[in-house]
Structure 1
């Protein structure tokens, strides 16, 4: 199987199987090519949009009250009409992190770090819920991220031909899965620096399995993060401007830091939102 010099695994990197089957991978979030600051309306243009301003004021209060480990604050937008929703959309804009969770949930970080728009769809793609979450990462996504996942990797009795360095990595991954929890630093396995064969990577990819969450983060370049079907095990891949894989890692952690809003950025978001709201008071 042909894999590039960085050992990539993913769409287009593997030929079709001999039996005609193909590996299937979750589609990554799209539409995140450029960063655009929100275009805010003039003060006179928000007359009568008190419901939207009340929601945004409540979001500002949640930002002020944020602390690591505290449950996310959730603000339901179901009661807003189209005009009020449009104002919320303008103020929040689109930030650096986009998330797909399964086939029915999407989350988008706003231009205010730690403020997330979370939407669920129902039958026929109809909007089922529309909320704002304030926190390091959407709790609605985390609740599904590893639902039904296996607790550890089972090493096979016999490894496929060409697999040499995967066995010790399986033991390393299992050891750190047992240690994950609050306050535990992420454990990263840098596959770009470790010796491995093409067969090692394909074997690991299949053994870990495919999870339900795909994240695109542009805060640290173009970074794509996906869950596996193994608890607290993530693929974290960095790409350059030409879409070449430059860093390929497996992270064992509750949530990779690249996808999480930092406390200092959330504090800054509070100050920025207060400044915006002052214009309309």
Structure 2
């Protein structure tokens, strides 16, 4: 629950109050498999934006997505899962758009991945390799077989005996993609798109910052970052409570 200062709400805006009501109504009907809804707040004044940000708070997931156009999307999930605050900046770093989005994951994340290649290519087996070539074959085959909506194919790298040569070859071949995010859930997690379509690095950390599970997932978006339909309904109820307590 975000913290509120009574003084900061005395001059609350009708525009901000209406937005909170609209977000709650959208959460109540949002479906996991449907496109999300954007609420444009770019032209809201600074006080309204501050009030909206304070009301929504900061949740577990945040990240960045570099769009093919060169625009960078920075996103932060609210305390209410499935609500995202997204800021778009141009290559010069200037803010060009700002939205609140109700969606399983920001649309910008999917858009950022559209230009990625659907196949991977690589050179011959490097000296000192142990398991990387069969691993590359498995990744390539799963990429070809994958269809939107399929469950993730998970490859737990932590369980593979891999040499330094294997790791380097894998990293160079897959490359770095346009999306990076972190989740501060039950166990901290970092998720990064590879430079190939539907290939993601997912790493879970302990409280000391040590990797405890290192995996690749072949999937459109890893589930750890996605809000579910249950999340939407819970968030709708939570936001209605906040609206009733502070905006009515």
Give the TM-score category using the shorter length.
Answer: over 0.9
Query: Are the counterparts in 2 of residues 220 and 258 from structure 1 also a CA contact under 8 Å?
Result: no
TM-fit CA distance, 1:113: 0.3
Aligned residue in 2 for 1:130: 98
CA distance in 1, matches of 2:241, 2:200: 37
Q: Which runs of structure 2 are paired with 1:127-276 in the superposition (5 Å)?
A: 127-144=95-112, 146-156=113-123, 158-276=124-242
State the Cα distance separating 1:191 from its structure 2 match: 0.6
User: TM-score, structure 1 length as denominator?
Assistant: 0.82
2:42 to 78, 84, 87: 78
Q: Secondary structure at the match of 1:52?
A: helix
Distance 1:147 1:71 in 2: 16
Q: Distance in 2 between matches of 1:190 and 1:112?
A: 31
Tell me the alpha carbon deviations over residues 68-97 of structure 1, each in whole angstroms, 9 at most, x when there is no partner: 211011000023111111110111111111
* C-alpha distance in structure 2 between counterparts of 1:85 and 1:105, whole Å: 18
* Residues in 2 aligned to 1:155 and 1:82: alpha-carbon distance in whole angstroms: 50
Higher fraction of helix: 2
Match of 1:32 in 2: none
Larger displacement relative to structure 2 (242-251 or 47-56):
47-56
Q: Deviations over 1:89-125 (max 9, x none)?
A: 1111111111112372200001010000010112542
Partner of 1:33: none
For residues 77 and 270 of structure 1, do their structure 2 counterparts lie closer, same or farther at Cα, with a shift above 3 Å needed?
same
Match of 1:66 among 30, 40, 48: 30
Query: In structure 2, how many angstroms separate the alpha carbons of the residues matched to 1:153 and 1:253?
Result: 15
CA contact 2:9–2:51 (8 Å) conserved in 1: no
What is residue 84 of structure 2 aligned with on the other side? 116
Matched pairs, number:
243
Q: Could you tell me the TM-score, scaled by structure 2's length? A: 0.92
Indicate the SS of the match to 2:99.
strand
| Structure 1 segments unaligned to the other structure (5+ residues) | 1-36
Higher mean alpha-carbon deviation, 223-232 vs 238-247, is at 238-247
Q: Deviations over 1:1-32 (max 9, x none)?
A: xxxxxxxxxxxxxxxxxxxxxxxxxxxxxxxx
How far apart, in 2, do the equivalents of 1:178 and 1:60 lie? 39
Any idea what the Cα deviations from partners look like across 1:47-85, whole Å, max 9, x if unmatched?
451000111111111101211211011000023111111
Query: Does the residue aligned with 2:177 lie in a helix, a strand or coil?
Result: coil
Of 10, 14, 17, 1:53 maps to 17
Q: Distance in 1 between matches of 2:8 and 2:168?
A: 59
Task: Give the whole-Å Cα distance in 1 for the aligned partners of 2:31 and 2:5.
Answer: 31
The Cα RMSD (Å) is 1.7
* Displacement after TM superposition at 1:225 (Å): 0.6
